[in-house]
Amino acid sequence: MKKKASLSSFDRASIVEKLQSRYYDLVIVGGGITGAGIALDAASRGLKCCVIEKQDFGAGTSSRSTKLIHGGLRYLKQLEIGLVREVGRERAILHQNVPHLVHPKQLILPIIENGSLGGNSTSVGLYVYDLLAGVKREERREMLSKEEVLAIEPLLNEEVVEGAGKYYEYMTDDARLVIEAIKTAASFGAQSINYTEAEEFLYDLNQKVIGVKVRDAFLEQTYSIYGKTIVNACGPWVDTLREKDKSLKGKHLKLTKGVHIVVPHEKLPINQLCYFDVNGDNRMIFAIPRAKVTYIGTTDTFYENQLERPDISQADVDYLLSAVNFIFPQIELSKEDVVSSWSGLRPLIHEEGKDPSELSRKDEIFNSETGLISIAGGKLTGFRKMAERVVDQVIVELRKQFGHSIELSETENIRFSGSEDEATNHPAQFIEDLFKNYHHLGLSHEQLKELFYKYGCNTATIVASINDIDRERADSIEQKLLLAELRYGIEHEMVNCLSDFLIRRTGRLYFDRENLAKIYPFLLDEIALLFDWSSEQKMKDLEEFEKEYKAVLDF
């Protein structure tokens, strides 16, 4: 096995040196789930590869999704039988390989008067879906009468609800799935780096692409990375890169924006995931309880503005509030109840005359005459299979040009970082064991559970390092744990700033914003100390984080 690549932010300068001096089999531009998945597939097949990400890992669409590993029910509606099978299988593989991040949750599909779903068609549809997607016996669909569904979800609108389908979806944490994929790829030698933008492609005399000129935002340094093959996995930016390559012809992307809003769980205290019709629109949205909050989404509208921070309008919020207030009429949610939000862009393939929700979610590979391979479309759920298809193609190219041998994808059987220990298949027992091992530190079950569902078995590394935290830096166990988590992020997950830690590594901006004001000045002091920042650097980071902190309520 290749030497493990570093993901420590303290090693940035030496990582940059390495990237400049190596000749890679594969250079991947884009560090969302697509790029991370490709790196894992390629590195585990023995290819020397790297990932270049211009923002933080997952900062594009891959931290802004509904955070579900879907079973592919919507594909059944479109009669895409092969896809239902593939997606169902992918879901099972991800659950097996990343149990700390992909886990089943019960979902209610209310049948409503004059709604888009009829009782009989839902029953038959879910039955066929269970068979096609290979759903486990204990997770198969059940049809509920009006009385039964109101007993388990009493807030539903009893005037219109006629019954429900009950089945399972798998919840995840998209940004953490990206970082765990990046870490797993690193264990096979793949080098990844964030805050490094591919500014232009480099070509040989035959106009074949041979590398990328990149700019490191932290070291303020421009340099070149060379590779035998180059993949563009830039999600919503795929066409921007194809344009740089002068190969933007034929099919192109159509972006649609999806907004989620977050309310405290006590404001929408539902007991399970609900997926329901938007009254008067031919669409459905989710309401998803998660720890202290419930999040609601998503919208689906065409988008043509700047890509880095898609805005959230009053109309987006009103659309979601009105849908949720119709199906749960007792709660009367208003704009003032919203405590956070996010907005993401779906990188879909353009199809003439179709509405946003009708555009296919299928992925597609574009091959340029320069040799640049671009991958667009798809879903978080299908990333492993997408990666396999891209790397299959890369390998054919490497064989043709450089005589590489063909290795088949092995990712079906690779357990991710945090899930290497098979004991993570049994979360309750794993958390109990952690509690027994570390209760002398004064940690609660709740704290350990929260850590487990982010870091899996790496929780033990974080907790064990609490003893190394200087008593002068933190006096309570909460503060010590926070600093231990931060240090883990810097040393193992390339955390460079407050936003990396509070938004993508821990999701606190979305799921615990109300408590952030108490902790972020303290965390900023620690980051500044660890990176030896000047007061200007510290101020800049604070301003950048506060921009994000305010933006989630700016609509």
Q: Which residues bind ligand FAD (CB under 6 A)?
A: 29-35, 52-55, 59-62, 64-68, 70, 197-198, 233-237, 241, 258, 298, 344-347, 378-381
Measured between alpha carbons, how far is 132 from 120 in angstroms, rounded to an integer? 18
Nearer to ligand FAD, 184 or 459 (CB): 184
Task: State the CB neighbour count (10 A cutoff) for residue 518.
Answer: 9
Measured between alpha carbons, how far is 57 from 35 in angstroms, rounded to an integer? 10
Nearer to ligand FAD, 359 or 474 (CB): 359
CB of 520 to ligand FAD, least distance (A): 23
Nearer to ligand FAD, 65 or 447 (CB): 65
Report the sign of the C-alpha dihedral through residues 448, 450, 455, 457, in that order.
positive
CB of 177 to ligand FAD, least distance (A): 9
CB of 43 to ligand FAD, least distance (A): 17
Nearer to ligand FAD, 146 or 213 (CB): 213
Measured between alpha carbons, how far is 151 from 492 in angstroms, rounded to an integer? 46
CB of 536 to ligand FAD, least distance (A): 25
CB of 11 to ligand FAD, least distance (A): 20
Measured between alpha carbons, how far is 391 from 128 in angstroms, rounded to an integer? 32
Nearer to ligand FAD, 56 or 153 (CB): 56
Quick check: 12 and 218 in contact, CB under 8 A? yes
Measured between alpha carbons, how far is 317 from 306 in angstroms, rounded to an integer? 20
CB of 375 to ligand FAD, least distance (A): 7
Where are the strands (E) in 174-299, listed by range? 191-193, 196-203, 209-216, 221-232, 253-264, 273-277, 284-290, 293-297
Nearer to ligand FAD, 104 or 236 (CB): 236
Nearer to ligand FAD, 191 or 447 (CB): 191
Quick check: 362 and 377 in contact, CB under 8 A? yes
CB of 152 to ligand FAD, least distance (A): 23
Quick one: DSSP state of residue 442? T
180-203 exposure pattern, b = at least 16 Cβ within 10 A, e = fewer: bbbbbbbbbbbbbbbbbbbeebee
Nearer to ligand FAD, 181 or 457 (CB): 181
Map residue 50 onto helix, strand or coil.
Answer: strand
144-153 exposure pattern, b = at least 16 Cβ within 10 A, e = fewer: beeeebbeeb
Measured between alpha carbons, how far is 189 from 211 in angstroms, rounded to an integer? 19
Measured between alpha carbons, how far is 25 from 394 in angstroms, rounded to an integer? 9
Quick check: 320 and 334 in contact, CB under 8 A? no
CB of 430 to ligand FAD, least distance (A): 25
CB of 529 to ligand FAD, least distance (A): 28
Residue (of 367, 391, 155) closest to 274 by Cα position: 155
Quick check: 528 and 491 in contact, CB under 8 A? no
CB of 316 to ligand FAD, least distance (A): 11
Nearer to ligand FAD, 70 or 449 (CB): 70
Nearer to ligand FAD, 234 or 502 (CB): 234
